[in-house]
Structure 1
Amino acid sequence: MKMITKILGAAFFLSLAIGASAQNGWNWGEQVDIAKEKNVLYTDAKKAKNYKAALEPLNWLLENTPDLNPSIYINGIDIYEELAKKESDPAKKQEYIQKGLDLHDKRIENYPDDEADIIERKAIYGYSFYKKNKDKYFDVLQIFQKAFEMNGADMNRGALVAYMDMVYKNYLYKRLTDEEVINTYSGISEALSEQRKNASESERKKIDNSSDLVDRLLTATKVEISCDFVEEKLGPKLEGGEDVNMAKQIFRLMLKGKCIDSPLALRAAEVIQNDEPTYSVAKFLGQKNSQNENDEKAIEFFQEAASLTDDNVEKAEMYVSIARIQMKNGQKSTSRNSARRALSFDPSHKDAYKLIGDLYMSSFNECKEEKSQVNDRAIFIAAYNEYRKAGHSASMAAAKAQFPSIEDIFNENMEEGQSITVGCWINVTVALERRPAN
């Protein structure tokens, strides 16, 4: 979690730096000259970074001219923030932090039209000081909850990540239920998804990074994911759309909740693969379509997966998967071609050899000509040779038990070791062997 904390720190100090332009007009109150003097004194002290000297004139303005201008709150929060950062005495530090939080509330009292923006800034301010203070976690969470209620998808993406971090931290101290965590995560993820829709390419990458952090924080909570929750709450949000972020959210939750047999998981994976093709998702889609007996689509995805990896072992695995589908459908020659393609990538792939052996073993009845026991049973020698390459002893024994007998070889004037061509679709040459004596 250290990396997440580090990224969050950078993101939110950047958020704090976002400027807010003062509203036009100044309400100097009844003591205009004094108010103007105090305003000059505190702003000059702030510019000089003499923050303690700025307190007396600032507090006078806050007390006597609370609606002077939003700048007294913006600057005042900055002043208390700087004092809190530099203060070594814990009690005094806490006093400064609280003053800064209170100024956010006072600004809302005097400028209620800006409440949504101010409450978000208050959440960020509280988080920057209390993200490592377990006694304050719930207080900060409540500010974020209110900020999210008011801002939704307009909330700064950095603030959304901090909000999820507070959810994670409060869950660790059993202040939130599993359902509350998932519901909040769902809202945050949906907000990021909304932001992504109209974002530029560079902004999308930043939003995706934020989404990844939110997902990792959810994973870190180790909450129990309900398949029904994902289908009922998030499933409708994917209907009729190609929202990649929502699809990612659904897919990750379904993986975590072991809901991968759901049609929604398949739909989400298809949306992801269409936008950001990867080997792992293509493999998943191939496997699921194969299980659902959508063989044509399964083969397409396995082929796509093979094209998306540079790992020859992975390529071989995909072609063996294709070969299995073709074998199931009785496409024996085509299946063998796929298995051999797998072996071209990984010559040690035992499953490919085993599959070819199975193809041969299952072809006796269709390939026998019933003219020569030796020639017909040579098919089992071909199967045995493939099983031997696979190191599959049980299959080797089964094949060997079907070899021609010594009597068959003698009666047909043949000799052990001579070459025999197995016909039919198999068309391979083997060395004649006899089956073991009983």
Structure 2
Amino acid sequence: MKLRALTFSVVLLLSFGINAQTELECKTKLSIFHEAVKAKKYDAAYEPWLFVKNNCPDLNLAIYADGEKILKHKIENSKDEVQLSFVYAMLDLWILRNEHFKSDTPQGEFNAKACQLQYDYKDELGKTTSELFECFDNAFNSDKETFTHPKSLYTYFSLMVELFDAGKKSSAELFDNYDDVSEKIEVEIQNYSEKLNALVAKIDNGSRLTGSEENKKRAYESYLKNYTLIQNNMNVIADKRAKCENLIPLYTKDFETHQNDSIWLKRSVSRMYHKDCTDDDLYEALVKQYDKVAPSADTKVYIATLLFKKGKDNEALEYLEKAGELETRPYNKANILFRIGAILKEKRQYSKARNYLSEALKLNPSNGKPHLYIAEMYKESAKDKNCGKDNFHQRAVYWLAVEEAQKASRVDPTLQSSVKAYVESYLAKAPTKEEIFLSGLAGKTLKIGCWINRSIKVPTID
């Protein structure tokens, strides 16, 4: 018995010594690969990283953060079976990370990464469209909050479109997926817009951003640009497949079943509104039911559009104002005010439209679209005799339009190409250098009348 106990103790001590030695080696190699990764020497980092991952998988989160960078480099710089082995290694790494650092591994984010990697190498992995869609669908529905990457959101929707076009998904499934992804994108746009607004407000108050804040500002603008891009692309794709002749029978068939489902009603009304299917009696029925089931700022706007179509402008404006009062969240309120301004612009009620658009800018200054709408209204008024005493003064309004349009690109990088086109168009119609010279007004400030009631400085001649 004594011999057996002694043997057990020796084995235990040896085991303890081996474990201690392995842990020490892991810590040493952790430092080696971490420094190599910081220097972007990924090949040099691979072997020490692999040892630590295999022997001490719970030692440090850097095993997985750095490991992702190492394997990404390996995948991008290898081919055929070797490349495929690194793809599998990356997928296994994310599974291992979830086992050892679950609280630091958001399910939606990392499941989406895994799906995206399989999509990027779908031919090599032999993945079908249906398999990939199921992967993204499970990731999205298991943790929608952290499923945020623009590329993965777009891939998720594009796979649904492929299945729809192949006759494997119905129109209802396509539109539901479009709504799910669109609403998620809207949440992210709101999130980054609000973060950017805080920095824009700091700049507007005359303060300088710190280096960290400048980096954040660039990151927020980049995300907003990417989200806007995929949102626009999704709209183009959906618009080709969502036509009034398709939507009306679909929503008519499902109306009775979903008439008390506020989400279904909201999506149906929104799609018919944006596809200009508002002349059909179904639209009015949907709007009224939506307002009955879940009255909100949105429902008031939709009712207002119905009233405008019936020529009841004053009643419609009352509903629009009520919509603005009901919404209290700054970002959402800004969207309501913007929609009101856009409607009033179309009704050529420019002064009221500008008031609403200006209020929208105060609440969401990083959205440049209100600036473009105001610029467009200035352009439309450039030939109005009430705005200037002669042709020169009237056309000076185009400079004001340019000034307003340029504000849009300064606050909203997603509008740069649009602003460039607007500015070129306005400048082509403004007084020429020769006309400025002959007028004798170079460098002077002109008062513009009519509803505009603004001043503009005449450009100097070089």
Structure in which a larger fraction of residues adopt helix? 2
| Bigger Rg, structure 1 or 2 | 1
TM-score by length of 2: 0.45
